[in-house]
Structure 1
Amino acid sequence: MFRTRLVSTVLVAVAPLLSGCVGDEPTVALLVAGGTDPGSRAVDVEHFTDRVEATCDECTVTVYDAEGDAAAQKSQARQAEASSADVIVVVPVDPDDLETVTSRELPVVSLGELVPGSDRFVGLEGGDVPDQAGSDLEAARDVLLGEEESMTYVPSRAMSEQAADVAVAFLAGNPVPDGEELDGVESWLYEEQDVTVDTLTSVLVAQDVVTLDALCSGATEKRCTRLGLR
């Protein structure tokens, strides 16, 4: 049985298909929706790859960015399979569009939204990933300034790490415990959080989503001081 440690990470945008094989190492293909697709909020690519690195010495992670293009993602799924990926983790642009793309032998883990035919799923209890303009930091600063009453925090780090654990478990042939069944698929569901000005620090700062310095700099500095955040 292999141990865990990341060998390489490759970012593949909407580009010509790769030729040949990615190598002899066990390979995780991470397909991200990219662009402005709401589903992109479900994945933290850095933490996904870091988690694989912490649990798989011999694994290679290849990241495909569809840039919000469902047709491109379909091609990338076929590309990943042709390039000898051992497991696919997908943040779908259009879940239904990917149902018949890969063979039954290649494990597929859905992240964010459930792709029909997936072997495992990591998502939200509330269903679809909510849309949000800008980053969590930008949304938090809007709430702090009173431009928005609240924002919805999606625990992308925890979801990404869980998806990485599931993918590595497939590679190692080990089960991942504590899943629950959703539409016949073993799943791990997380709760999104409604964040207001009163819970910005207890949720976002406490969970290292944003720093207090970043939240309270520039235009928001006086507001933070008034609210006793600094």
Structure 2
Amino acid sequence: MRPLATLLVVVLGCSLLGGCFREDPTVVAFLVSDGARELEPRVDVEAFEARVEATCEECAVRVYDAEGDATTQAEQAVEALRDSADVIVLDPVDVEDAEALVGGGEDEVPVVAHTALVPGADWFVGLAEPLASSDAGPPADSDLEAARQVLAGQRRSMLHVPATAMSEQAADVAVGVLADEEPEGAEDFEGVPSWLHTAAEVRLAGLTDVLVREGAFTLDELCDGSTARRCEQLGFV
């Protein structure tokens, strides 16, 4: 894998020569590790796009989904630069591999690390601690299915990652970078300005207080079909 620092010189060099100048749009590249991941999702692409659209009229979001492959993500990083990305938000497939995609040279594109801190990133939005499974039940296809299993007593708990809140914060940071106005509330984390969130183990009592309230799914979705009676017994509906 070629370090992005080397590729930046090649790709961005044309702008120094005036050969690839363009005014619009301002491009926010969102490199996603696996956009299809539903259980314990790391990112909320729709929330990210909506936040950028709401706060930056001249911005265009381009999403690159690596589908869990680090080599694909490296190739997409190069593609993002060729697409004239002004800022990159990087949700790494693998932190060690992603380190080669960051840094080096005065002409580098600023990088916001998402979910996991990538050494060399300029900013970080995500989790202070690496994800670790705390689920105590059978596998599920999505956060909603996992929650329904908790409700039915088929599993003790599920791990909830605040993907929407993190993605909206990452969008705010990216837009702020473009406007030279870093959002407030950053704290130092390993020498990087960071906005830290926590993955929470959610048990029965927290299904409505945490997940429904945060918009992970609706109460109607949680209490549909086979779980309707259980919701009535618990006073959820």
8 Å CA contact 1:77–1:101 kept in 2: the answer is yes
Higher mean C-alpha deviation, range 59-68 or range 173-182: 173-182
Q: 1:107 aligns with which of 104, 110, 123?
A: 110
Between structures 1 and 2, the one with greater helix share:
2
Amino acid aligned to 2:203: T
Deviation track 1:159-182 (CA, whole Å, cap 9, x = no partner) reads 001000000011111122211111
Amino acid aligned to 1:137: L
Q: Which runs of 5+ in 1 are unaligned?
A: 1-19
Question: Using a 3 Å threshold, how does the CA distance of structure 1 residues 208 and 39 change in structure 2: closer, same or farther?
Answer: closer
Q: 2:222 aligns with which of 211, 215, 223?
A: 215
Deviation at 1:192, TM superposition (A): 2.1
Q: 1:128 aligns with which of 130, 138, 147?
A: 130
In 2, distance between residues paired with 1:154 and 1:94?
Answer: 18
After TM superposition, the structure 1 = structure 2 runs for residues 141-180 of structure 1, keeping only pairs within 5 Å, are 141-180=148-187
Question: Using a 3 Å threshold, how does the CA distance of structure 1 residues 38 and 140 change in structure 2: closer, same or farther?
Answer: closer
8 Å CA contact 2:30–2:89 kept in 1: the answer is yes
Higher mean C-alpha deviation, range 41-50 or range 186-195: 186-195
Q: Which residue of 2 aligns with 1:93?
A: 93
Normalising by structure 2, what TM-score?
0.82
8 Å CA contact 1:41–1:129 kept in 2: the answer is no
Q: Which residue of 2 aligns with 1:17?
A: none
The structure whose Rg is larger is 2
Deviation at 1:198, TM superposition (A): 1.4
RMSD (CA atoms)? 2.2
8 Å CA contact 1:33–1:39 kept in 2: the answer is no
Percent of pairs identical after alignment?
Answer: 51
After TM superposition, the structure 1 = structure 2 runs for residues 55-70 of structure 1, keeping only pairs within 5 Å, are 55-70=55-70
Normalising by structure 1, what TM-score?
0.84
Deviation at 1:61, TM superposition (A): 0.4
Question: Using a 3 Å threshold, how does the CA distance of structure 1 residues 137 and 88 change in structure 2: closer, same or farther?
Answer: same
8 Å CA contact 2:40–2:143 kept in 1: the answer is no
- Aligned pairs, number: 210
Higher mean C-alpha deviation, range 160-169 or range 132-141: 132-141
Classify the secondary structure of the residue corresponding to 1:61.
strand
Deviation at 1:193, TM superposition (A): 2.0
Query: 4+ residue runs of structure 1 moved beyond 3 angstroms?
Result: 20-23, 35-40, 130-133
Question: Using a 3 Å threshold, how does the CA distance of structure 1 residues 161 and 207 change in structure 2: closer, same or farther?
Answer: same
Classify the secondary structure of the residue corresponding to 1:100.
helix
Q: Which runs of 5+ in 2 are unaligned?
A: 1-19
Classify the secondary structure of the residue corresponding to 1:86.
strand
